[in-house]
Amino acid sequence: MSVTYILFEILGYKLSLIEAIGTVTGIIAVVLATQSNIWSWAVGLVNFIFAFWLFYQVHLYSDMLLQVYYFVVGIYGWIYWYGIKSEAQTPITLLSKRARMIHIILLAAGSVGLGFFMTHIHTLLPKFFPTPAAFPYTDALVTVLSVLANWMLAQRKIENWVMWIVTDVICTVLFYQRGIYFFSLEYLLFTGMALYGLLNWIKLYKRRNYTAAENT
């Protein structure tokens, strides 16, 4: 499926079928995630497939490879949220101070390393990536942020929403610059959804702790 296969035109912008499906499934998945709904993972798996092919065609290679990670973690998250042996949903928790520091170090090192690699990917693997990567370091930052955020989401850590807010703001600008305007609009919506998700998960976290305290 190509970005040149146009579904319809809105205000002079030609919306491809692949971008339309990727946008709709992405929005649905995030809405479900803000509600702590396990079906967000199922819809997300569909979104990852279409996003993979879209990002390859607009030369955002880090984001493209990110979808492979998303797919694997999506399956893991689907299982983890209900647990392998238990029907009880895994509780929402906070990262420890040590875990936060580790995430910051991983973010810095991963962004620089991946950005450097993507700067040279068209010379290292010209058969698969004949066109140089667009915005390699910014794209790498988004990718590493997303990897960490998605892992924390699967682990039901509240801080995942903070990471998503930062990621979504960057993506809104990045995708606009690459000319995929519906994805840019989608990530603008994601920013608001991530803020809502943060507030909602904090509420759920406090409610659970209050209930646990009452039962002790």
Q: What confidence tens digit (pLDDT) does each residue in 67-121 have?
A: 998 899 888 888 877 664 444 567 889 999 999 999 999 999 999 999 999 999 9
Residue 2 has pLDDT above 70, yes or no: no
Q: What is the mean pLDDT of residues 31-41?
A: 86
Mean predicted confidence (pLDDT) in 169-181: 91
Give the pLDDT confidence score for residue 8 in this predicted structure: 66
CA angle 49, 53, 54 (to 5 degrees): 110
pLDDT the model gives residue 87? 47
Strand partners, 6: 16
Q: Is 31 helix (H, G, I), strand (E, B) or coil?
A: helix
Query: What is the pTM assigned to this prediction?
Result: 0.77
Whether 200 shows a pLDDT value over 80: the answer reads: yes
Query: What gap in Å lies between CA 101 and CA 104, rounded to an integer?
Result: 5
Q: Alpha helices, DSSP H only, in 58-159?
A: 61-82, 97-119, 121-124, 136-154
Give the pLDDT score at 211: 66
Q: Which long-range contacts (CB under 8 A, 24 or more apart) does 54-59 make?
A: 54/3, 54/16, 54/18, 54/19, 54/22, 54/180, 54/183, 57/2, 57/3, 58/3, 58/134, 58/178, 58/179, 58/180, 59/131, 59/132, 59/133, 59/134, 59/178
pLDDT at 216: 55
Residue 114: the pLDDT is: 94
